[in-house]
Amino acid sequence: MSILLQITQAVTDSATALQPAVKAEQSISFLDLVIKGGPIMIPLGLLSVAAVYIFFERYFTIRKSSNIDKNFINQIKDFVHTGNVDAAKALCRNTNHPVARMIEKGLLRLGKPIRDIESSIENVGKLEIYKLEKNLSFLGTIAGIAPMFGFLGTIFEVIKIFYQISLENSLQIDTISGGLYVKMITSAAGLLIGVAAYAGYHYLISLVDRAVNKMEINAVEFIDLLEEPVKK
């Protein structure tokens, strides 16, 4: 009976001792966690800023390239039908859009075989796709290396914990639990940045695919437009 009372008293004392720690943990702010993450949080912070910048810069660029005024295509058709090629070229030069540059290249090749015109338009299209995909590889790289940086920071800090234990020649729970949760901050931050960058990368890739499809559709319409007089 006395043993049971001692166990109950020990559990009660432990719960009482843990209450301040729980309260302290609940009061930790996000800034405190970042600071406690250590120096490795600096490169992680730079990676997060770079990922955000690349995502939004590419997002607005790709969305702009995906949308083209329908009147532009209709005007090009009218100019070609009426034989006003110079006006069509001028309209393309004054329109800052991948489709406009592709069509302008085709207009410059008028008089040559259709296959040559298609080839020149395709080459310009490849260049425009390359421009759309600019810096996307960096976003994919961030998605891969950010978690690695986080794990690296955690491993270094865990090594410090065990080194401290070896110096004290004793295994203290406070030494492990008091610092281990802090050391996991870098892993959590790295994973968060990596997952966000990974999702953003694939979302932008899907936008690029949509933009490429629209470019191909407009290029095919332009080629069909050039072939209409031949068909007649």
Query: Where residue 175 falls among pLDDT bands split at 50, 70, 90?
Result: low
Domain boundaries, the chain: 36-226
High-pLDDT (> 90) share of the chain, %: 22
Q: How many CA atoms lie within 13 A of 231 on its CB side?
A: 6
pLDDT at residue 143, as a whole number:
92
Give the chain's mean pLDDT: 79
Mean pLDDT value of segment 42-53: 92
Average pLDDT of 173-196? Answer: 76
pLDDT in tens, 92-148: 888 888 988 998 888 888 888 888 888 888 999 999 999 898 889 999 999 999 998
Q: Examine the pLDDT at 22 and tell me if it is beyond 80.
A: no
Place of tokens 């001692």: 6
Cα 31 from Cα 214, distance rounded (Å): 45
User: Whole-angstrom Cα distance, residue 44 to residue 183?
Assistant: 14
Higher pLDDT, residue 15 or 228? 228
Quick one: tokens of 215? 């470019």
Percent over 70 (pLDDT), the chain: 72
Give the per-residue pLDDT at 41.
82
Using CA atoms, how far residue 54 sits from 8, 45, 138, in Å, is 58, 14, 8
Of 69, 73, 124, 77, residue with least CA distance to 101? 124
Region of poorest pLDDT, from 28-32, 107-111, 119-123, 210-214: 28-32
pLDDT, position 14: 44
Task: Specify the pLDDT at position 180.
Answer: 66
Q: What is the pTM of this model?
A: 0.74
